[in-house]
């Protein structure tokens, strides 16, 4: 599952306002509701599942990256949203550095292999310094999506 398969321009927030990881998660889930990826009546339950996962251990993996994720039976397909914070978000990351790129995704309940593969693919792509730089320097969501398409093929 490539990022380009689960993200559209509308699911990319180039200017996250969040100050901490839970605000970032809320902002990205709100985007998924607005873009029709999550039903409005499921918003609270989905948020609770992602927050519960985040409470176990921060998904701030270092290098300015956060990858909050969870499984839920409230979705039928893998969904995601990407946020960029110029000022950085306090994510309790492994390296104690602020997070600038937050890639939230959710996988339907019971699809453990897909969950692991999606997480691994996203982490591998996000660990590429040139990719992060392209996302951080893109002027808008369209530019960020182009970077995802360009690097996702490599």
The answer for 53, left when phi > 0, alpha when psi is -120 to 50, beta otherwise, is alpha
Query: For tokens 């390296």, what's the residue?
Result: 95
Helices and strands in the chain, H and E counts: 6, 6
Look up residue 90 and give its DSSP letter: B
Query: For tokens 């979705």, what's the residue?
Result: 75
- Our CA angle for 123, 119, 11, nearest 5°, is 85
Q: Yes or no: say if 24 and 63 are a contact pair by the CB < 8 Å rule.
A: no
Beta strands (DSSP E) in the chain are 12-13, 60-62, 65-66, 69-72, 79-89, 99-108
Residues known to be catalytic: 69
């Amino acid at each position: 599952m490539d990022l380009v398969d689960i993200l559209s321009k509308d699911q990319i927030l180039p200017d996250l306002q969040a100050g901490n990881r839970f605000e970032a998660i809320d902002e990205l889930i709100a985007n998924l509701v607005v873009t029709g990826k999550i039903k409005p009546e499921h918003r609270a339950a989905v948020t609770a599942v992602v927050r519960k996962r985040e409470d176990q251990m921060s998904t701030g993996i270092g290098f300015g990256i956060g990858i909050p994720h969870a499984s839920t039976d409230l979705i039928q397909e893998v969904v995601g949203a990407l946020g960029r914070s110029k000022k950085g978000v306090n994510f309790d990351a492994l390296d104690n550095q602020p997070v600038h790129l937050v890639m939230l995704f959710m996988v339907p309940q019971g699809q453990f292999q897909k969950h692991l593969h999606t997480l691994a693919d996203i982490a591998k792509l996000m660990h590429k310094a040139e990719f992060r730089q392209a996302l951080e320097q893109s002027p808008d969501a369209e530019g960020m999506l182009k970077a995802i398409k360009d690097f996702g093929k490599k």
